[in-house]
Amino acid sequence: MRVGAYGAMYPPFDRCIESAVQAEAAGMDWVIYGDQMCFSHPICLWTPDITTAAEYIPSFDAFYEPGTLITAAAAKTSKVKFFYGPVDVVRRAPNVLAQTLLTLDHATQGRIMMVLANGENKQMKPYGIARKGANDKLWDASHIMRSFLDTNEEVDYDGRVWKMRRAKFDLGPYGAEPPPFWVAGGSPDNLYLAGAVADGWITAAPGHTEDDPQSFIDKVKIVRDHAERAGRDPDSHAIALLVFLVVDDDEATCDKLRDHPFIRWNTLAYTPTTATFKKWGLQHPWGYDWIFSRDAMCPWYDRDYVLDSCNKVPKEAVDKVNFVGTPEQVMKRLSPYLDSGFVTDVMICNFNALCGIEYAESSGRAINRLVGMIKGVEVDADAPGFASLV
């Protein structure tokens, strides 16, 4: 089982590179550098009265370009791999994505993987970019990427959006095999692309799996079936879980954080659609037709509106969208996913330190223990390195 975690992506630059060095020292398999223009939480909440972390990081809307970070971090590391994404297919043409991936393949000496996704409107609409056709662009980009990675022959492609004629792309991989790319998302098209075209699939748990391991397993089977029908080996496909965590050895701390605005925001936003609340028999403050990727405009929200919405979140929903608790409690809920035998990668996203820098050290120790449980190895809970990433 491979495990990854987010690296720092905001100034100062040296801290971002050091986060990869620390991840490698802590025995992590992946460092995640996401593709963001602005924070996934409303920036109006990034104030010292809500989180002491705001005193240490002046702006959480100041993201570096991830490819540059990966290139610099690769020069300072030798083993850890780099997870780039999810990368949306709206702001970059497929040939540019292929060029970026293969350039990073050389820069990291074969330690790169890219995730393609439909993208988030918060990264587009404020900047004058239309998200229209994102699903079709993902379809085309996945097929074009596959062609560019697998051959240096001229590519002709008549797609839903992209049309290519005698497109030449000569940049080959660093090693004998091209770098992998995965697809994120659970729509029928996305599951098809993940199996028949890409090299893996990633989803988020527990919210994006409806807090139901069987729902996750059913979708994995669809991915594997598509791979087999396309003449590909389903056992070679990566199946990854991005897990949203609020983990600490102290149950009282976990219970306190259930009421924090950042954790409540996660609960509002991190399901495929708010209709998931309806399946759980819970009322979503914004009704049942709100989708994060389509509707979230985090930089635009008024603080009073956000806090009022967070206060209306049913507390029962917090644990359905986040794995909340001690490492043992989280592992008990995570185990049905892992015991399915399908999961190859677990990507850690722990929110404690966003709620306050005072939570970073204790949650870091808890994460160290949880990673040891996931990987089935003994770990030093007090080891430096990983605690500084969360």
Residue 62 has pLDDT above 90, yes or no: yes
- Whole-number Å distance between alpha carbons of 96 and 329: 43
Q: In this structure, is the dihedral angle defined by the CA atoms of residues 140, 141, 142 and 146, taken in order, positive or negative? A: positive
Nearest-angstrom CA–CA distance, 53 and 68: 25
3-state DSSP assignment of residue 292: helix
Confidence of residue 381 (pLDDT cuts 50, 70, 90): low
Average pLDDT for residues 332-338, to the nearest whole number?
A: 98
Q: What is the pLDDT of residue 390?
A: 39
H or E stretch at 363: helix 360-375
**Average pLDDT value for residue range 204-225:** 97
Tens of pLDDT, residues 163-177 = 999 999 999 999 999
Q: Which of the two residues, 83 and 387, has the higher pLDDT score? A: 83
Q: Which domains does the chain have, with CATH numbers?
A: 2-249+326-375 (3.20.20.30)
For 129-156, what is the mean pLDDT? Answer: 96
What tokens appear for 54 in the block? 């705001």
Q: Which residue has the higher pLDDT, 378 or 138?
A: 138
Q: What is the pTM of this model?
A: 0.95
Average pLDDT, the chain: 94
- Output the pLDDT for position 388: 40
Contact call for residues 104 and 81 (beta carbons, < 8 A): no
Q: Which of 54-68, 317-331, 369-383 has the highest mean pLDDT?
A: 317-331
